[in-house]
Structure 1
């Protein structure tokens, strides 16, 4: 007999339909891929789980099972991707109470993390060891990302017309689909569309490098050539080794850029705008360790200032 309430529907079936209705076409492909992967894990872990059987204990066991093979942050992402669908199921009356309430997020012990960013001296050493010629190459790409903190896809999408040398800025208003078939895509979010100030040295260098290039074509992506993140990371790895500093990734250059600005006393609000973060909260979470270190320095400064009043 058919179930008109839908309460006996398998949870992974409901979740797949929920993704199609609420997420397809509304989020970026890379984010959609994460939701689809979560769906595959549901099929693997709880293939026979019905919506009506989704209690707090059952949900916690589901999270625990996933956490056996994933680190805590990955489990947290998994939880967030499920929670939206589950809360909608509660609103629809398919589940009586929210089973995600007070969920405990577990996970494997994190692997030894590679350095995410360089200090000012290390970055300087890398940059002076770059092989910068008279024509655009990946070394110039590394220099530009280090100077601007742009995302990999944002820097790939830059065209000559995005540079406003008279005002010393570069306009970030698109990304490059390097994970797909190539071509321009929108920025990650509205806040990612921004103008990034350039130092005078970078202005002089790039004004000469791109003066004869087509105005509307990507500077760093040759026509009909597939670009891989690993290729550029390989160039940066060799540069790090030549400079005898910790090896970081291209994304690590973005972290380095932000870290140096924060240590230099630039406000979190300004750093957030320069990086294209959707909110200062993102910046605070990402660079919490640096902010805490700066706060400790502030306490020392406050104490020294107060002691001077007596």
Structure 2
């Protein structure tokens, strides 16, 4: 007999996540790119060169595990377990397969786990025997998995070759039907409701534009015509977003042998002329006038939400998800760790991405105001939610203040833009602004605030010239 020892996973392995987004993937890339699904994308760059167990943090929680030894790239919501100490990776892989889902579900009272968090890994108690026994157990299950996989593969002969059975779709199936099936299979329960709704809307467009297009006829010309027709009623950026969603299903159909080759290669994106954009943010003088006009009494009103977002840059759903327990007045921080689903009124939901989980520093004045405001509230109940919430209500409240002050009308989300813009104009680095806003990467911040960055670069050029002139 051999002794078993209980250890926490964080004691015998290192757990980290990647930093990339799904759209970073490229066709026929050199290295595997592990994302939040069973399908492995490709990339021409690698992030790690190691032996690791890879676990998606969203979607089919506790059901998808990859084991890889070599160079690979990693999505920001996929966990990498490596640097194994006193534990055999194959043994650990099978603990994940057969034990981890139950462990994750136990941590959630609702019986579902919308997403995984780092403590779920590091604090997981596992039983491990000595290394020799671990190796034997790991090899046994590896051989068992190989045997099961072999029996599950039921090839049939078609056109003289072996082809794997893939649901009930054939090359003569309509793409609109395949796309609808693909959304149900891969996206329902794996993406946020708002994202799923975008997929479903795109499926309606496909059914309208190419109702009779068969899989076997989906070539580059057919795909370009699809994009061109969609572009007649949408702006170019919307066409690009449409392309990214549809391309995912097309590449899977190519892998399944239903479409001969990738028809999305070298696609051209068109679009109707963009609408005149409304001003998204206020300058410092305009914001000062707005905040002066707020009626900040001892009752919770939308005016308090306007003040909070203007001074913290929180997303609307993040502000709605705040409870008194999220305020640390001693350290003057607000903990952002959840959101409130105001669109379908399903209560607390996870944050937009992993980077959105953060602590936001607040100024002492805002801290004192909220300390008095929420002192008698239930610490676990949302501060601003008292029944169904519609974002038009606080937006209308903000619009009335703007009209009264004679300043441009902006939305609640425009307050977030205002917050970020004023920080950058004040000299705060874009990296710090990105972290404060909870963006998934600094690239996101650069794209959203490119106009401000360009203006600041012009100011920098003036500083450079003045400095160089002073040297002579």
TM exceeds 0.5?
yes
Give the equivalent residue in structure 2 for 1:201: 365
Give the equivalent residue in structure 1 for 2:294: 130
Find the partner of 2:318 among 151, 154, 172: 154
Find the partner of 1:235 among 380, 387, 397: 397
Give the equivalent residue in structure 1 for 2:211: 47
Give the equivalent residue in structure 2 for 1:306: 468
Matched, 1:219 2:383: yes
* Structure ranking higher on relative contact order (CA contacts 8 Å, 6+ apart): 1
CA contact (8 A) 1:23 1:32 kept: yes
3-state secondary structure, aligned to 1:27: coil
3-state secondary structure, aligned to 1:179: coil
Deviations 1:229-278 (A, max 9, x none): 00000000001111110000000001111111111111111111111111
Give the equivalent residue in structure 2 for 1:262: 424
How high is the TM-score relative to the length of structure 1? 0.96
Give the equivalent residue in structure 2 for 1:111: 275
Q: Distance in 1 between matches of 2:452 and 2:250?
A: 36
3-state secondary structure, aligned to 1:166: coil
Give the equivalent residue in structure 1 for 2:456: 294
Q: How does 1:37-116 map to 2 (within 5 A)?
A: 37-116=201-280
Give the CA deviation at 1:51: 1.3
Matched, 1:180 2:344: yes
Q: Distance in 1 between matches of 2:299 and 2:457?
A: 44
Greater strand percent: which structure? Answer: 2
The structure whose Rg is larger is: 2
CA RMSD of aligned residues (A): 1.2
Give the CA deviation at 1:63: 0.5
3-state secondary structure, aligned to 2:359: strand
3-state secondary structure, aligned to 1:167: coil
Unaligned runs of 5+ in 2: 1-157, 159-164
CA contact (8 A) 1:182 1:226 kept: no
Give the CA deviation at 1:195: 0.4
Find the partner of 1:23 among 182, 187, 194: 187
3-state secondary structure, aligned to 1:42: helix
Q: Distance in 1 between matches of 2:428 and 2:256?
A: 47
3-state secondary structure, aligned to 2:334: strand
Deviations 1:200-246 (A, max 9, x none): 00001000000011111011111xx1111000000000011111100
List 4+ stretches of structure 1 deviating above 4 A.
none
Q: Distance in 1 between matches of 2:298 and 2:239?
A: 47
Q: Distance in 2 between matches of 1:238 and 1:247?
A: 8
Q: Which range moves more in the overlay, 104-113 or 244-253?
A: 104-113
3-state secondary structure, aligned to 2:330: helix
How high is the TM-score relative to the length of structure 2? 0.64
3-state secondary structure, aligned to 1:60: helix
3-state secondary structure, aligned to 1:102: coil
Unaligned runs of 5+ in 1: none
Q: Distance in 2 between matches of 1:129 and 1:269?
A: 32
Greater helix percent: which structure? Answer: 1
Find the partner of 1:253 among 415, 419, 423: 415
